[in-house]
Structure 1
């Protein structure tokens, strides 16, 4: 018999190696960026004064919602600020719940800096996608960025050997995408698709960068994606007809 760390084993068994699947390393104790984003969204929602099931309007909405003609005239901040506004209690409740579920998993694994970069990259890609889809109404909500986090989590699971569809993440993405196409709900599905694609591409970029042991490549890729999204949003806005919020 051969002494091992788990007790006495026969020589044949002692030669065998057991495969160990390691879970993702935890880099931080608290998802600070996730919490900060939720806090800002809640404060802005309270400041809007719209507490109904589905409402929009007021000076905050007018000056910070995503609206193509206003982006065309130079209100570029709307590409970011629209991601912190919501149109009703159910809208913000659903988005903040998903943001917490996804954010507290991802941020602890990939770190706050990388998480923040991925979030805002997906947000800008979502704004671009929303402007590609809609021309006649304002768009608000963190949905594009949240869909981006779904894409990031799917890539992170794949790189660690997990099937996103076996754990329900793939189904969650598909269900929410389908809901966006239901008539009458007035959902900016273009923002969902744009955010998801942006999150997937950004996460793939970081995966390649990590394999090359060049993390800066991932950040450079996010910067390039964000620049393309902003340039695309401005270009699309320039082709829109003039409407009013």
Structure 2
């Protein structure tokens, strides 16, 4: 037991130092500029820092084949509060799990549930850029919850233990509702971690009364691992086929609140839509939906370069007021 705890302590210390250094390097690259609390209430960088440090960005994963982001995001935190909360979860639940499982099994649960969760996040939350370090921490939380349920006879103070787990998970789920964190990935990590814990317990079960029963237990354990691996492969296929389902669960990814702005983590289109109407007037629709009336323009002069110039001149992150109404007209260039 002491050997297990020493190995886990070493792994945890290594992870803590790595994530802390990673976070500090990210702040250095953006000249130590933190986003305001409305955009990132976790005391961390804005979109530029999240992007530079390898956060999850589905558009870049698909269009530029930056699949390395699925790994780097697992160790990048959206802010100082996110960092402390995640390391606290890893220590609390990892220290509990290592008493029942080997440190290497705990590490496998951490990495596999994290990778599966970040792929769910990349597909479901494809309209947002995120830091996914909380996903593997939620994987350990799911495994610890399963351990408490399936081996409840081994522990005392069941009500207090259940309340503690619910409190910790609830607090971190609240953090996951903010911009640059994704509760869809956290939930997936929680489920995958619990699934892998069940698989590990089936393999370690020693009460099999017969050889067929032992084979059945091992087959069940293998099926659970295969299910998690299938989810990972399915997520990769979804990205490869450019078929994410972003937009279906935005409230799950980032919950709207007067305390923060979920649009801060949105990945906005980079192009503008241009429309001409029957009265020869033109309307420019900015990436964030603002509309600007251009006026009467010679259609022969309009091309992608001119539209981009208008887009750069009239569209801004702070919003452009609507200066003209919409109407039925010809679809413009995208």
How does the TM-score come out when normalised to structure 1? 0.74
Whole-angstrom distance in 2 between the partners of 1:141 and 1:210: 31
Instruction: State yes or no: 1:175 paired with 2:151.
Output: no
When residues 216 and 75 of structure 1 are mapped into structure 2, their CA distance, relative to the original with a 3 A threshold, is farther
Aligned residue runs from structure 1 range 215-226, under 5 A: 218=221, 221-222=224-225, 225-226=228-229
Aligned 8 A contact 2:55 2:73 in 1: yes
Q: Tell me the equivalent position of 1:6.
A: none
Q: Which moved more, 1:80-89 or 1:204-213?
A: 204-213
Whole-angstrom distance in 1 between the partners of 2:120 and 2:203: 26
Shift of 1:218: 4.7
Aligned 8 A contact 2:115 2:232 in 1: yes
Q: Tell me the equivalent position of 2:234.
A: 231
When residues 157 and 201 of structure 1 are mapped into structure 2, their CA distance, relative to the original with a 3 A threshold, is same
Aligned match for 1:67, one of 52, 57, 60? 57
Secondary structure of the corresponding residue to residue 185 of structure 2: helix
Aligned 8 A contact 1:34 1:104 in 2: no
Whole-angstrom distance in 1 between the partners of 2:2 and 2:88: 22
Over alpha carbons, which structure has the higher Rg? 2
Shift of 1:36: 2.1
- 1:156-192 superposed Cα distances (whole Å, 9 cap, x missing partner): 122322586541244226624752675xx22411011
Q: Which moved more, 1:194-203 or 1:86-95?
A: 86-95
Q: Tell me the equivalent position of 1:123.
A: 114
RMSD: 3.3
Q: Tell me the equivalent position of 1:201.
A: 195
Instruction: State yes or no: 1:55 paired with 2:45.
Output: yes
Whole-angstrom distance in 2 between the partners of 1:193 and 1:154: 13
**Unaligned regions of 5+ residues in structure 1, if any?**
1-24
When residues 47 and 222 of structure 1 are mapped into structure 2, their CA distance, relative to the original with a 3 A threshold, is farther
Whole-angstrom distance in 1 between the partners of 2:86 and 2:167: 13
Whole-angstrom distance in 2 between the partners of 1:130 and 1:195: 10
Structure with the larger RCO, 1 or 2 (CA within 8 Å, 6+ apart): 1
Q: Tell me the equivalent position of 1:34.
A: 12
When residues 83 and 165 of structure 1 are mapped into structure 2, their CA distance, relative to the original with a 3 A threshold, is farther
Q: Tell me the equivalent position of 1:158.
A: 149
Whole-angstrom distance in 2 between the partners of 1:36 and 1:219: 30
Secondary structure of the corresponding residue to residue 110 of structure 1: coil
Shift of 1:120: 0.6
